């Protein structure tokens, strides 16, 4: 039997949170990102990689690492509701919302349940697949990290009271090399700059440590999280964050005798996870207050037990939201009607049997779709559709091939979100310039927000240097297969 052929060059995947094509290109062309410019000019640049939906980091990272959308990996968003347990699940949004839900509850979700309970056991991560082949991997600064190695993590003693872990310690399944802020460090003497994760300098130092000590594994996934918070306040055109992270990438490349040698010894990938859409300046003009839109119904309040009289639950993910119908006597149509009269909501979608139905607040008509065999889209996915395709800006070429406009890979991503967890619920998507608000969910006035199906938040850049190979399709969900193909000729 022939042994599998493994990649001779380690793969380093740098995920720059909220990196967008236009901002990247401006930074490179203006000379403010020389390291990224070098990788672009000496590799392949793809400016339209489709991300996951909702366009929130935990869902996107889950798609990247498992090669599946949310219908399979089961991470519905940063904020969602477990109908079977009557429980709000939040992995850390705004301070007020986190405080009301309980810091312990949110920390336990983020640090333990996300990887050990919520991420489906029916899918495998890149780390798990490599481990079964005896191949090492590393995760630096990612909250989605499930691997095959049992590792004890810990919270510093002074902060242990903020968690449910006995003595601030817990055991989790991680990759063979694992770094996550103060919870797990590669350099035992280091001091993480943030409680829950490391900033760009700390993350870069962890990666440089692996290179310097000749401990770089076959695959390393590394996340720079700094830019997301900055863009929420500064807006998507700000490029200062790119410049700062580029300086850290420069230091990493400088570990080699030349940048050309860095390419000769490694495969480098740089990707964004989601984009941002500009928001307005006035709360009354920007916020879609779901409590007011659906004011005739009783809604559950976060931080309080669900009561029998509660009829609706709102789980807001910035520019998209899940609306759960707790009362079985309430029909979908009774909720959809007031939503469809709100011109700031451009997509309203829900499950009807094995089909997905779509309406809109900006135009009349309806659309029904499901996996089938009548039409194929540009990603070779097969669908049955009936109704007004313009609701999702889908077009037919040669009467059989489906293409996408302002909602990239809309059918698969919307299907994924609506099949990501149990319960009776509706997905709503905000028109550009608007953001959902329910109770204590944060708004990003005079800045930017994400979460929606729109192309502004859904198309991210990818740079590949050190190999001429590219993914089968320009989608984050196709990266896992691409990486495994590079490593094991899968």
Q: How far apart are CA 232 and CA 105, in angstroms?
A: 25
Decide if 449 contacts 318 (C-beta within 8 A): yes
Decide if 90 contacts 316 (C-beta within 8 A): no
State pLDDT tens for residues 465-475: 999 999 999 99
Whether 368 shows a pLDDT value over 70: the answer reads yes
Q: Would you place residue 2 in the very low, low, confident or very high pLDDT band (cuts 50, 70, 90)?
A: very low
State pLDDT tens for residues 389-406: 999 999 999 878 999 999
Q: Would you place residue 5 in the very low, low, confident or very high pLDDT band (cuts 50, 70, 90)?
A: very low
Dihedral, 410, 415, 420, 423 alpha carbons, nearest 10:
130
State pLDDT tens for residues 273-297: 999 988 877 777 789 999 999 999 9
Burial 457-489 (b: 16+ CB within 10 A, else e): bbbbbbbbbbbeeebebbbbbbbbebbbebbbe
State pLDDT tens for residues 19-71: 999 999 999 999 999 999 999 999 999 999 999 999 999 999 999 999 999 99
Q: How far apart are CA 51 and CA 19, in angstroms?
A: 12
- Residue with structure tokens 């406009």? 405
SS (H, E, C) 2-41: CCCCCCCCCEEEEEECCCCHHHHHHHHHCCCCHHHHHHHH
Which residue from 459, 408, 456, 471 is spatially nearest to 13, judged by alpha carbons? 471
The overall pTM is greater than 0.85: yes
pLDDT at site 4: 46
Contacts of 426 (CB under 8 A, 6+ apart): 322, 323, 325, 332, 335, 336, 339, 348, 349, 350
Mean pLDDT for the chain overall: 90
pLDDT at site 159: 59
Q: Centre a 10 Å sphere on the Cβ of residue 122 and count the other Cβ atoms it contains.
A: 10
Whether 490 shows a pLDDT value over 60: the answer reads no
State pLDDT tens for residues 145-168: 999 999 988 776 655 566 666 666
- Residue with structure tokens 């902060």? 159
State pLDDT tens for residues 9-19: 999 999 999 99
Q: How far apart are CA 77 and CA 315, in angstroms?
A: 9
Burial classification of residue 429, based on how many CB atoms lie within 10 Å of its CB (0-12 exposed, 13-18 middle, 19 or more buried) = buried
CATH number of the structural domain 11-75+119-279+453-488:
3.40.720.10
State pLDDT tens for residues 84-125: 899 889 887 655 566 565 566 677 788 888 999 999 999 999
Strands (E), 242-366: 267-272, 277-278, 287-289, 312-317, 320-325, 345-352, 355-359
Residue ranges per structural domain of the chain: 11-75+119-279+453-488, 283-443
Whether 195 shows a pLDDT value over 70: the answer reads no
pLDDT at site 192: 59
């Amino acid at each position: 039997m022939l042994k599998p052929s493994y990649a001779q060059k380690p793969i380093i995947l740098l995920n720059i949170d909220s990196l967008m094509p236009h901002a990247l290109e401006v930074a490179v062309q203006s000379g403010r990102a020389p390291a990224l410019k070098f990788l672009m000019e000496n590799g392949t640049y793809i400016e339209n990689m489709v991300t996951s939906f909702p366009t929130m980091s935990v869902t996107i990272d889950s798609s990247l690492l498992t090669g599946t959308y949310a219908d399979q990996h089961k991470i519905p968003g940063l904020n969602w509701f477990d109908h079977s347990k009557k429980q709000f699940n939040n992995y850390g949004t705004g301070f007020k919302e986190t405080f009301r839900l309980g810091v312990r509850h949110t920390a336990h979700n983020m640090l333990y349940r996300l990887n050990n309970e919520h991420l489906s056991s029916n899918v495998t991560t890149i780390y798990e697949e490599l481990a079964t082949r005896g191949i090492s991997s590393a995760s630096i600064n990612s909250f989605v990290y499930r691997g095959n190695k049992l590792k004890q993590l810990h919270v510093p003693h002074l902060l242990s009271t903020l968690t449910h872990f006995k003595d601030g310690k817990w055991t989790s399944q991680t990759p063979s090399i694992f770094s996550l802020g103060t919870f797990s460090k590669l350099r035992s003497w280091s001091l993480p700059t943030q409680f829950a994760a490391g900033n760009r300098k700390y993350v870069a130092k962890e990666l440089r440590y692996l290179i310097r000590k000749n401990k770089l594994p076959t695959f390393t996934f590394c996340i720079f999280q700094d830019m997301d918070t900055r863009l929420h306040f500064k807006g998507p055109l700000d490029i200062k964050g790119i410049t700062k992270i580029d300086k850290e990438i420069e230091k990493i490349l400088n570990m080699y005798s030349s940048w050309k040698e860095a390419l000769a010894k490694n495969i480098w990938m740089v990707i964004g996870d989601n984009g941002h859409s500009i928001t307005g300046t006035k709360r009354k003009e920007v916020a879609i207050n779901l409590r007011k839109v659906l004011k005739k119904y009783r809604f559950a309040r976060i931080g309080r037990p669900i009561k029998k009289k509660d009829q609706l639950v709102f789980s807001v993910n910035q520019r998209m939201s899940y609306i759960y119908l707790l009362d079985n006597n309430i029909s979908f149509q009774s909720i959809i009607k007031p939503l469809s009269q709100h011109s700031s909501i451009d997509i309203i979608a829900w499950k009807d049997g094995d089909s997905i139905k779509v309406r809109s607040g900006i135009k009349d008509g309806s659309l029904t779709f499901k996996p089938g065999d009548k039409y194929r889209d540009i990603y070779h996915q097969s669908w049955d559709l009936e109704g007004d395709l313009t609701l999702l800006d889908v077009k037919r070429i040669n009467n059989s091939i489906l293409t996408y406009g302002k909602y990239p890979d809309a059918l698969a991503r919307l299907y994924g979100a609506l099949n990501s967890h149990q319960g009776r619920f509706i997905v709503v998507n905000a028109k550009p310039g608007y953001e959902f608000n329910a109770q204590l969910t944060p708004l990003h006035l005079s800045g930017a927000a994400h979460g929606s199906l729109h192309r502004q938040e859904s198309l991210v850049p990818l740079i590949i240097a050190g190999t001429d190979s590219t993914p089968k399709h320009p989608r984050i969900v196709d990266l896992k297969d691409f990486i495994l193909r590079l490593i094991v000729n899968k």
